[in-house]
Amino acid sequence: MIESTYDYVVVGGGAAGCVLAGRLAASSGKTVVLVERGRSDSNRWIHIPATFFKALQSQDAEAILSEADPSLDGAHYPVPQGRVLGGGSSVNGMIYMRGQPQDYDDWATRYGCKGWSYKDVLPVFIKQENNQRLTNEFHGNDGKLCVADPTPAHPVSQAVIEAAVNAGISPSNDFNGASQEGVGWYQVTALDGQRQSSAHCFLKPELHRANLTLETNLLAERIRFKDKRAVSLEARHDDGSEHVIHARSEIILTAGSFQSPKLLMLSGVGPKDQLSKHGIKLISESPNVGRNYQDHVGTPVTRELKGVNGLYGADKGFQALKHGISYFAARRGLLTSNLLDAGACVDTSGGGRPDVQFNIAPFAPGAPGSPPMSCHAVQIHPMTMRPTSRSRLGLKSSKASDAPFFESKALDTGADFDTLRRGVRIAQEIFTQSPLREIVGDEIWPGANVSTMHGSNTFDEAIRAQARTIFHPAGTCAMGGQADSVLDPELRVRGAENLRVADCSVMPALISGNTNAPTMMIADRCATFILNEE
């Protein structure tokens, strides 16, 4: 058995962990170890923006599969997650979106998360950002995270943007500015043909420091406590050898919305029934660990293209060779694109703020959990921005190597169904507008056999069959001002000492948009909380 000792033990080398470990090492002068169960981000598909689909299909990602979901007619709901240095920021679609100001104001007022209002978090976003185009009160230009416009802009996506404007959606040149509403080009965490992951931007520039250690291929198994104080992490290397890492100061979990609550439960912090069922000694009863799971759910409206090409076949044969030469010779061309280059945020309910996000892309997504379809096509992909459905995580066993028990209820509420129905109808309306209508053919989904009219018997069945994750699980270690919240507003685990969580799982309510940028912001705030206590 190997034993080592550090001041701070950061568990999980994803989007949050890379930010947190890098900042603690640079600013505290104390020793820091970052523990990641996956390997280093050496996979070439990670760093080339357009090949993130290949990274998702490699050993650097895994799908957590739910039990049969009654809200999806008993289907199992797969949620892919990064299992590599950089986590989701190494395998995601690189869309940079922060959410709406009201999201954070709701955290502060509705959930008791003092210090998390929009005015509190905006300076952190600005500090982290190095925006290549925008310079104003909403954006930064001196941070470590490079944010840029997508290149090259695909002409099919441009046609969708113009059609959306003709359908009455206002144009937008900044989804993170004064207003999120509108349609336009996303900004992305990619620059000059290089993915700007959390590992690339925040961790690697600090790895030269003698007080920062990175351990990959090391599975965290449980936290050891002395009374209520977290003192050590039990972990295991790929070869089966044990490694106990002692923490002089704190242990911080940044392992994500599946793994952070699982590790808490394996360590004795969680719902009493889950722990006793698997013979785990109770350290602190925390009934909401693993609860409050939420995710953005989408149903991509898709039509064939006619007379123009999308992205089908771009990764095969002569086309692949041409794109490869262009990329490796000059860092130009399709491989520099994140593919999901445009989108829209629309208020479909008249509630005063966008409730549906649309991803726009010139390819046909396959069935949930499957690769893209083999045809030239375009998608307008509506998704719920503030889902009301809630799912739950538990334990399958007391083994850290086992996946968590995942009880999914992805579309459990009528409100979420209503939101997707409205989103699908708006997407269909956009397809009827010029110049998009001149370049599209048959509808692939929902298709000619499905009526999307009000009262349709076939529409909801089609939604259940097509519904899929948008890769944004959150909320399973939620912070809040209530005594039964898993975390307090400074991300400390209630009922334990010297233990925090700082990743997407801490969100009391999912933000309205992509979660990569907010997750990095959360980690940065956690570092501030820790450093202020030194």
Q: Which residues are catalytic?
A: 472
For residue 264, the Cα-to-chain-centroid distance in whole angstroms is: 21
Amino acid at 38: G
Decide: helix, strand or coil at residue 10.
Answer: strand
**Cis (ω within 30 of 0) for the bond into 518?**
no
Phi-psi domain of 52 (left: phi exceeds 0; alpha: psi -120 through 50; beta: other): alpha
As to burial, measured by CB atoms within 10 angstroms (0-12 exposed, 13-18 middle, 19+ buried), residue 376 is buried
Greatest extent of the chain over all pairs of C-alpha atoms, in Å: 69
The DSSP string of 91-137 is HS--B-----HHHHHHHHHTS--TT-SHHHHHHHHHHHEEESS--ST
The residue to which tokens 């390997």 are assigned = 39
Helix axes 15-28, 516-533, angle to 10 degrees: 30
CA distance 344 to 139: 20
| CA–CA gap between residue 185 and residue 96 (Å, rounded) | 11
The count of other CB atoms within 10 Å of the CB of residue 368 is: 17
Residue 318 CA, distance from chain mean position: 34
